[in-house]
Amino acid sequence: MQSFPDELDSVDVLEDWLSRPSETAVESLESVPGDVMVLGAGGKMGPTLSRMIKRALPDRRVIAVSRFSDQGLPERLRSQGIEVIAGDLLDSGFLSSLPECPNLYYLAGMKFGATGNEPLTWAMNAWLPGRVCERFPESRIVALSTGNVYGLTSSGGPGSGEADRLAPVGEYANSCLGRERVFQYFSECQGTPVILVRLNYANELRYGVVVDVAQKILGGQPVDLGMSWVNLLWQGDANAQIAAAISRTASPAAMVNVAGAPHIRVRQLCQQIAALAGVEARFEGEEYEDALLSDARRSRSWLGAPEVPLEVLLRWVVGWLKREGPTLGKPTKFENRAGNF
């Protein structure tokens, strides 16, 4: 049984843990030939996913593509053996200039700031996927989607499954369904092998539902119970499952939920965090017996089981925040039942 440290005490240690490939990820990546390119590699998950892929495939070319708003990130990626190409994927000239690559991870998209900036949200989430498919018609594509394409479902069941009816709420979720439909269209008409990965929710120590909740509890603020249940997954495990998905691409497009399981009541989550922190949790809002929940059984069968238990994630987050470790300052707004991000 794997052992875990009591705490992760630096960003370097954190990113090492976030980029450790699972055995399934290594086997899956080794099973497909050729270079790998990560589009949208400058976001929350892209840097450590790129590093994980390079650790799994040390002798292959791994290319990270992004606008790179973090000016120091390109050099950090280069120091890890990853090639960097900086530019705007919405620029058709830049997109056409990218090298041929048989394996793509599509992480480009927009969530935060979607409300009030709907045209850019739709361009990023629904128009750009078609341009990428036209540019790389024969590449395997792992396309990151979201569990927000589902509607609310009963907390008494396993959560929404991949074949369930979709009922996205809000502009962001609908634009993500648009992304899926465009990838599905090109997968069918071009034969492009695709897998759509519906993520719900990845957590690390600088960002995620657990950080949002723990910050409120440590700050003496009440936690909104409107979204009363939640799936929670260590981002390193999410990275590993996303990396492993490359061997499951298909035409027509396959799809898989990547999510924590079983889901947990938010009140219970808060009580566990409060006990670790030695404080009391406070609450506000009405509790409901339905929530945005995903059934993760297919991902465990296809992509391997998560390795970091929830109790370890909670301990790490509480320790990190009590030591005033850096955070990204991007609340997930998971408690929003109206889909406004």
Does 324 fall in a domain? Answer: no
Does 32 fall in a domain? Answer: yes
Summarize the confidence of residues 230-243 as an average pLDDT: 98
> Quick one: tokens of 22?
């699972």
Q: How far apart are CA 185 and CA 66, in angstroms?
A: 25
Q: How far apart are CA 180 and CA 53, in angstroms?
A: 24
Does 194 fall in a domain? Answer: yes
Q: How far apart are CA 275 and CA 135, in angstroms?
A: 52
Contact 293, 339 (CB under 8 A): no
Number of domains in the chain: 1
Q: How far apart are CA 219 and CA 213, in angstroms?
A: 10
> Quick one: tokens of 224?
């909104």
**Torsional class of 88: left (φ above 0), alpha (ψ -120 to 50), beta (otherwise):** beta
Summarize the confidence of residues 299-315 as an average pLDDT: 97
pLDDT tens digits, one per residue of 177-196 = 999 999 999 999 999 999 99
Query: Does residue 281 surpass a pLDDT of 70?
Result: yes
Does 249 fall in a domain? Answer: yes
Q: How confident is the model at residue 112, as a pLDDT?
A: 58
Summarize the confidence of residues 305-329 as an average pLDDT: 97
Does 83 fall in a domain? Answer: yes
Confidence of residue 336 (pLDDT cuts 50, 70, 90): confident
> Quick one: tokens of 26?
């290594």
Q: How far apart are CA 166 and CA 151, in angstroms?
A: 6
pLDDT tens digits, one per residue of 125-151 = 999 999 999 999 999 999 999 999 999
Instruction: Give the CATH number for residue 64.
Output: 3.40.50.720
What backbone torsions phi and psi does residue 102 show, to the nearest 5 degrees? -80, -15
Q: How confident is the model at residue 1, as a pLDDT?
A: 60
Query: Does residue 108 surpass a pLDDT of 90?
Result: yes
Contact 193, 251 (CB under 8 A): yes
| % of the chain exceeding 70 in pLDDT | 98
Q: How far apart are CA 149 and CA 126, in angstroms?
A: 13
Q: How confident is the model at residue 337, as a pLDDT?
A: 80
Strand partners, 84: 64
Question: CA nearest 313: which of 203, 216, 231, 149?
Answer: 203
Summarize the confidence of residues 202-228 as an average pLDDT: 97
Q: Which residue range is the domain that position 196 belongs to?
A: 11-202+234-260+293-306
Query: Does residue 274 surpass a pLDDT of 70?
Result: yes
Does 185 fall in a domain? Answer: yes
* H or E segment and range at residue 44: none
Does 22 fall in a domain? Answer: yes
Query: Does residue 116 surpass a pLDDT of 90?
Result: no
Does 288 fall in a domain? Answer: no
Confidence of residue 338 (pLDDT cuts 50, 70, 90): confident
- Helix (H, G, I), strand (E, B), or coil: what is residue 311? helix
Query: Does residue 13 surpass a pLDDT of 90?
Result: yes
Q: How confident is the model at residue 2, as a pLDDT?
A: 78
Question: CA nearest 61: which of 32, 20, 101, 98?
Answer: 101
